[in-house]
Structure 1
Amino acid sequence: MTGIDSVQLKEVIVHKVGNPTRGEELKLSANALTLNDEIVGKLLTKYFLGSFNENEQYHFTHISDVALNEVYTYCAEIFDNPASFAAQSALLAHFLYTKSTHVKVKEGEFYVAHFAEVPFGTEYVQAIGLFKSENKETFLKVFPHGQSMEVIHEEGININKLDKGCLIFKKDRETGYVACVVDATNKQQETQYWIKDFLQVEPYADSYHHTNNYLSLCKNFITKEYPEKFEVAKSDQIDLLNKSMDYFKTNENFTMESFAQEVMHHEEVVDSFMEYKRNYESSKNITIDDEFAIHVSAVKQQQKSYKTVLKLDKNFHIYIHGRRDLMERGVDEMSGKYYYKLYFDEES
């Protein structure tokens, strides 16, 4: 998240939340932290807010009425009555404890924070942050001892790695607020208790999420389904990845019809892709429109995960940026080894 220098950390309290199935306890703090040290306050703010992507926006949901969503209700009470901060944070911790029953859920510190002056578009708003640290790292501490130096090890939290977080902006209360979410651990389907069971949030069906989901869909199809259904070389997979990314980088709007014509070409590949899309939507419990405005930030974010490197044994890496027609693949009859021919005009 950018522009956090203006953010004011008004209050933060820490509770210990274990896994009840392992007999671990819920330990509640009676009071908020004393934030007298300005440096500690800034470090906490960086740790809490630095990992969020403000373009990925979610909202609270409930099967019948969003007012029955526990996290939504407790946060709304904090917004309405800041004096209830400690009491509502305890309710949030207790609710998280009841949802931490999966065998892979780790014990950790659960932070509830109240912020002011948080950037939201062109405004600055209040926000509530919910964070959980599950992983500890070992640090070496060097200190003077008489006329020498000594080294000891300590366990602590890496402030550059937020495990789980949710930032709830005081916006659009009627539709479940606007929230950003981080879940860097327990990404397996069965252990997504943070998003599905505790927060109960869903992404907004906007251009960012449509763009992001479609690019994820394309990458998964090309790298997993495409080589299983059709006989294709790795270089052809990379070529299709490049064409998919180029489509999103050079067009303002996405339509499935134009994407099929410009990228997929073959009818049987399009049919396989559409079948994969239906299964993908069902497994992820999402719906991706076949027409939407392409979001530039989502394209930039996804471009980092589009791998266009062809690895040949442990000897060569070929970076393919386009022009698949300038590559030729074959088999040497004498050695039985595969080869590539690359055609180019100049080298640098």
Structure 2
Amino acid sequence: MITFSEATLAELSIHRIGNKLQDEFYVLSEKSMHIQDEMLNQLLLQYFLSPYEKTNEIYRFTHPNNDLNLNEVYHFAEEIFANGEVFHDNTKKLATYLFEISNHPKIKSGELYVAYFENVQIEGDLHDTIGIFKSETKESYLKVYPEQNGFGLSYEQEGININKLDKGCLIFNTDKEEGFKVAVIDQTNRSTEAVYWKDEFLKLKVRNDNYNQTQNVLGVYKNFVTQKLDDDFEISKTDKIDLLNRSMKYFKEKETFDMDEFSNEVIANKEGIESFKNYKKSYEEEFDTSIADNFDISDAAVKKQAKAFKSILKLDKNFHIYIHGNKELIEKGFDDDKYMNYYKVYFKEEQ
């Protein structure tokens, strides 16, 4: 999961990339920008980063020769992370390189933005992050403004919709030896000419390791229990907490994950299992990602996800009940005299 509530935009360079097969050229800016306007800063953060909140597939840089230093984007990113003073010079090298591989006649020209962010969160950790974005689609906008006793109307052509990022990638300053963690978006081209962004320019491969697979299943199951179950069943909060506890127990005790085994042992209800599998299928379609049915469980991913699996029953502002084990030892009732709900908890010893 990627979030940017704590992120700041430290530096930004903008260049323009044409299609050389269409006899277009590139234009490089002389210097980078440090955005001082707070509103503009927030709009740019929204434009660049908000599309990644639904991104779950994480990639790594690669190269056919298995030498990461031969991957141009990896090389430039590594230099920027090592020395921030070379940021703008390396953004110009990135722009020139992108121009050179933009050799399909249908590739659109557009602005290239290279940004340096601080405190972007991925998988629970904050990292400095390089963002590379390209805007290709321009739109027209109407402007309405007060004028005398009514309103005036004008328009602006060739505007950029900040809710529609065309192409982009985020490179997180972590796991450098494995090719960094990289998130990628390409909204404008899904046909053969689109490969130039992810495959030719970035040269990425899916980080389809045990960590990613473990995290995906735990994340989908948590969302299913906390957000979806209420739509299909009448279920108490204690039952939800129990389902979360049982899933975490499964992942902590098992070495390998099996979807059918997990469903039968943890959910243990035919209708609930069917609902979960339908939810998983819908999730895969919505986010264009595949969730494996079998894999080796990553202890590191389980440990990190365990922090998000809350087993706390919050009662008004007076009490929090932590449920770690047998849910049969807690009963819910209603007091007619006080006209209030209550929980009865059974235990043998105080500690």
Same topology, TM > 0.5: yes
Match of 2:160 in 1: 157
CA distance in 1: counterparts of 2:13 and 2:190, whole angstroms: 26
Shift of 1:181: 0.6
The residue aligned with 2:100 is 98
**What amino acid does structure 1 have at the position aligned with 2:43?**
L
**Residue deviations 1:94-133 (CA, integer Å, cap 9, x gap):** 1111111212211111100001111123321101000011
User: Size of the alignment, in residue pairs?
Assistant: 234
CA-atom RMSD, angstroms?
3.2
Distance in 1 of aligned mates of 2:84 and 2:162: 27
Distance between the aligned counterparts of 1:123 and 1:257, measured in 2?
31
CA displacement, residues 258-280 of structure 1 (integer Å, 9 cap, x when unaligned): 99xxxxxxxxxxxxxxxxxxxxx
Of 122, 132, 135, the residue aligned with 1:133 is 135
**Is contact 2:111–2:136 with CA below 8 Å preserved after alignment?**
yes
- Whether 2:32 is the aligned partner of 1:32: answer yes
Matched, 1:76 2:78: yes
Q: Distance in 2 between matches of 1:118 and 1:190?
A: 30
Normalized against structure 1, the TM-score is what? 0.60
Instruction: Tell whether 2:205 aligns with 1:202.
Output: yes
d(CA) in 1 for partners of 2:121 and 2:291? Answer: 29
Deviation for aligned residue 1:143: 2.6
- CA shift, 1:150, in A, is 1.9
Q: 1:258 to 1:3 in 2, by over 3 A?
A: closer
CA distance in 1, matches of 2:141, 2:177: 45
Letter in 2 for 1:13: S
Q: TM-score if structure 2 supplies the norm length?
A: 0.60
Residues 277-288 of structure 1: pairs in structure 2 closer than 5 A: none
In structure 2, what is the Cα distance between the partners aligned to 1:126 and 1:258? Answer: 37
**Aligned with 1:50: secondary structure?**
helix
Q: Residue type matched to 1:180 in 2? A: A
Q: Is the contact made by 1:163 and 1:185 (CA closer than 8 Å) also made in structure 2?
A: yes
Kindly, what percent of the aligned residue pairs are identical? 41
Distance change (3 Å), C-alpha of 1:108 and 1:292: same
* Correspondence for 1:51: 51
Aligned residue identity for 2:135: S
Residue deviations 1:234-261, cap 9 Å, x none?
A: xxxxxxxxxxxxxxxx9984479999xx
Instruction: Name the CA distance, whole Å, in 2 between partners of 1:212 and 1:2.
Output: 13
Separation (CA, whole Å) in 2 of partners of 1:104 and 1:293: 42
**Is the alpha carbon distance of 1:289 and 1:44 closer, same or farther for their aligned partners in structure 2, counting shifts above 3 Å?**
closer
Structure 1 residues 208 and 109, CA gap change in structure 2 (3 angstroms)? farther
The aligned amino acid for 2:94 is L
Distance 1:290 1:19, change over 3 A: same
- Pair 1:54–1:289, CA change in 2 (3 A): closer
Instruction: Provide the residue aligned with 2:6 in structure 1.
Output: 6
2:110 alignment counterpart: 108
Residue by residue over 1:134-162, the C-alpha shift from the partner in whole angstroms, topping out at 9 and shown as x without a partner, is 11121101234455432111131111111
1:122 aligns with 2:121: no
Residue 20 of structure 1: aligned partner? 20
- CA drift at 1:209: 6.9
Q: Is the CA contact (8 Å cut-off) linking 1:116 and 1:126 kept in structure 2?
A: yes
Structure 1: gaps (5+ residues): 214-249, 260-286, 296-348
> Alpha carbons of 1:209 and 1:124: their partners in 2 closer, same or farther (altered >3 Å)?
closer
Pairing of 1:181-220 with structure 2 (within 5 A): 181-206=184-209
Change (3 A) 1:257 1:193: farther
